[in-house]
A and B are shown apart, each in its own frame.
Chain A
Amino acid sequence: MTRVDPGYFLALAGLMFSIGVVGTLVRRNAIVIFMFVELMLNAVNLVFITFARMHGELDGQVLVFFVLVVAAAEAVVGLAIILRIYRLRESANVDDVNLLKW
């Protein structure tokens, strides 16, 4: 087991999560936005692993397992929706999907 303090891992996870939030807000391509969502999920996974180590239990690692499964399902459904939108609009840009916008 590493001697590196868990605080550094938490700081790394926090920075990565923030980058994911900024990317989700800044980018326009729907697939790229999805990848930033995956980045945020990864950062949360790192937090779970770090907490599992801090508490000396494996519950956090099991939760990462579930996060992985949910992320896979979410990615598959989201990409299918993007595919439908692309067929309809000929574009993966989120600003082109504005039918429900007032």
Chain B
Amino acid sequence: MDVAVFAAVFVVSLGASLAMLFARSAIHVALLLVATQVALAVAFLLQGAFFVAAVQVIVYAGAIMVLFLFVIMLLGVDRREALIEPLPGQRPLAIGLGVLLVLEILFASMRGLDLITSSRAGSEALAELNRDPGNVEALGRLLFSDFLLPFEVTSVLLVAAIVGVMALARRMGSAIIRGEESGPEEAAA
């Protein structure tokens, strides 16, 4: 049963991400990425990460991908992929290096195989953790004790991102808006 689910996850996620390479339209790429992320959420479920799987679907496949689709729609669906290559031979080189990277990663995974095969105890420890306090409770305790400082720093990051995006996305150079904005500032000064 588990093996069948994993095989489905493997086929869907790899197939969708390979199709991302060849999809013409940016919309198709976005939808294939959503398929990949949902398949990965199933892989998270298989490995006992219940909360992260839910967050993956809600935040990643939901919020972030909606943002991507929104921007694609805002800019207009652009089907033109540039055929002229400014750097000659870049694409074959990229594919060759990609194959090399696959071999490298698989080789490194093989070297660590003794670590992998001895992981049965860790798997059981995690299952026990998921049973007794529960996945969400254990995660929450960890997040608000050991990881409290990173958690708070994250909020600073989010505020910085919000302010930065508002500054970036504002239409500067438009005389009407600039006129409206300079009014209250001058009054305050």
Contact = CB atoms under 8 A, between A and B. Distances in A.
Interface of A: 1-12, 14-23, 25-29, 31-32, 34-36, 38-39, 42, 45-46, 49-50, 52-59, 61-62, 64-66, 68-73, 75-77, 79-84, 86, 91-93, 95, 98
B94 to A, nearest CB: 4
Contacts of B82: 28, 93, 95
B113 A7 contact: yes
Contacts of A32: 26, 29
B124 interface: yes
B124 A56 contact: yes
Most B CB atoms within 10 A — which of A4, A77, A81, A86? Answer: A4
Contacts of B17: 16, 19-20, 39
Contacts, number: 239
B161 A42 contact: no
Which 9 A-B pairs give the minimum distances between C-beta atoms? A56-B125, A56-B122, A14-B105, A22-B98, A25-B94, A73-B161, A54-B119, A80-B168, A2-B2
Interface in B41-100: 43-44, 46-49, 51-52, 55-56, 59-60, 63-64, 67-68, 71-72, 74-75, 78, 81-82, 86, 90-91, 94-95, 97-99
Contact of A4 (B2, B60, B94): B2
Contacts of A12: 9-10, 13-14, 43
B168 A77 contact: yes
B127 A10 contact: no
Given A10-B116, A16-B13, A26-B94, A92 B78 contact: yes
Nearest to A84: B168
A61 to B, nearest CB: 5
Majority SS at the chain A contact face: helix
Nearest to B161: A73
Given A11-B106, A66-B150, A56 B10 contact: no
Nearest to A87: B171
A56 to B, nearest CB: 3
Given A53-B47, A55-B119, A58-B138, 16 more contacts: A1-B124, A2-B47, A7-B109, A12-B13, A19-B20, A27-B81, A39-B36, A45-B56, A54-B122, A56-B121, A57-B129, A69-B158, A76-B67, A83-B168, A92-B75, A95-B82
Contacts of A36: 20
Contacts of B56: 45, 68
Contacts of A57: 122, 125-126, 129
